[in-house]
Amino acid sequence: MKNKLIVVLFFALVMNGCTNRTEADIALRSEGYSDIKYTGYNFFKCSQDDWYHTGFIAKNRNGMTVKGTVCSGFLKGATIRY
């Protein structure tokens, strides 16, 4: 049981390292999103060239709640995907 807990904690820490809240925040705020809440790493939402897959829930310019992922990588910009 102890070994399983260690493995689960290890993967949780590794996956948390695959998000970039700073870059995601810049991308989302520049597009007019507010009330941003980050949901962590999103599997299979970005291309294989993206290093960071930062999930979010936010309000768009019209006040509607949207859920998506900000994809970003080394020497490339951020892309918002829904």
Q: What is the pLDDT of residues 13-66, one digit of tens each?
A: 444 458 999 999 999 999 999 999 999 999 889 998 899 999 999 999 999 999
pTM for this one? 0.78
Q: How many domains, in total, are found in the chain?
A: 1
Two tokens, residue 57: 């829930």
Domain that holds residue 59: 2-81
